[in-house]
Amino acid sequence: MEYDFQQVDVFTSGKFKGNPVAVVASADHLSTEEMQSFARWMNLSETTFLLKPTSPDADYRLRIFTPRAELPFAGHPTLGSCHAWLQAGGRPKKSIIIQECQAGLVPIRHENDRLAFAAPPLIRSGDLDKDLLEKIAAGLRIPLSSIQASAWVDNGPGWAGIMLKSREEVLALEPDYASMPDLRFGVIGAWDSEKDGTDAEFEVRAFAMGLGVNEDPVCGSLNASMAQWLIGSGLAPKSYIVSQGSLLGRDGRIYVDQIGDSIWIGGATTSNIVGKLRL
């Protein structure tokens, strides 16, 4: 059978500078095994499949696969898949698009040529224990005293959050990945407007060895979880821009906005490959 297919670049307005996701449309007849097999072959961080919703409130249903396993939710695949759904003629029932996935119903806004999803609630928060902090510091090859703040920021994948003093310190990290094979954490540091410019307020790097990815180029779920910690603890303003992927040849920009009680994670999306898939 043939399926409509798009490969979408997420969190960038430049060509091939964001995080790609493969999106297969009208995939209701594919089995879980077929989906996983195709995701393994694509070998992207995520491959997604658009299906008819089972909830009357949803506009579409999404299944998300890494090369290894299915995920209940992921950030850049959510925005990329919504972009593909809209490009294929999808029309939302209301002004807010509703995506159904294993994590539940995810609201998505479409404004100012950007898509943004509402950050799902954290399932774990609070302080990291000293042993874990020492393991992370050793794996990052930095003194424990360099960590300015830290917290659990788990919205599903098991994320922890680490704050360093500056963007310069974040970009200087040379992790020992082999010493942290089971960890998943993000590191953030503030931009210095005089040295770094004003394109963003923070630099983020996402290390996901426990998911089979040493460093994720531009990660929506991590930024969604870290935003709740940073804004909630007063470490970041209610609206800010994150730069990510600088050392991986990417130029990601994530737009964070708190509106009411919700935190929205947004960015630009572009279809770089459009065609037919034969499975």
pLDDT in single tens digits along all 279 residues of the chain: 999 999 999 999 888 999 999 999 999 999 999 999 999 999 999 999 999 999 999 999 999 999 989 998 999 999 999 999 999 999 999 999 999 999 899 999 998 889 999 999 999 999 999 999 999 999 999 999 999 999 999 998 899 999 999 999 999 999 999 999 999 999 999 999 999 999 999 999 999 998 778 999 999 999 999 999 999 999 999 999 999 999 999 999 999 999 999 999 999 999 999 999 998
203-262 per-position pLDDT tens digit: 999 999 987 789 999 999 999 999 999 999 999 999 999 999 999 999 999 999 999 999
Active site residue: 46, 100, 201, 203, which one?
46
User: So what's the pLDDT on residue 213?
Assistant: 83
The structure tokens 């290894």 sit at 68
User: So what's the pLDDT on residue 167?
Assistant: 98
Distance CA 205, CA 43 (A): 21
Report how far apart, in Å, the C-alpha atoms of 240 and of each of 15, 87, 151, 184, 236 are: 23, 28, 20, 23, 8
Give the largest Cα separation in the chain, rounded.
57
Distance CA 93, CA 99 (A): 11
User: Cα 5 from chain centroid?
Assistant: 21
**Rg (the chain; Cα; Å):** 18
DSSP, collapsed to helix, strand or coil, labels residue 147 as: coil
Please tell me what DSSP assigns to residue 102: T
Q: Is 169 a catalytic residue?
A: no
The count of C-alpha atoms lying within 13 angstroms of the C-alpha of 244, restricted to the half-sphere facing its C-beta, is 27
Which candidate, 259, 279, 254, 248, places its Cα nearest to that of 269? 254
Q: Which amino acid, 270?
A: T
User: So what's the pLDDT on residue 159?
Assistant: 95
The count of C-alpha atoms lying within 13 angstroms of the C-alpha of 44, restricted to the half-sphere facing its C-beta, is 21
Q: pTM of the predicted model, to two decimals?
A: 0.95
Distance CA 110, CA 161 (A): 28
DSSP, collapsed to helix, strand or coil, labels residue 53 as: coil
User: So what's the pLDDT on residue 279?
Assistant: 86
Which candidate, 264, 256, 224, 221, places its Cα nearest to that of 239? 256
Please tell me what DSSP assigns to residue 86: H
The structure tokens 């506009």 sit at 59
User: So what's the pLDDT on residue 85?
Assistant: 98
Structure tokens at 40: 């393994």
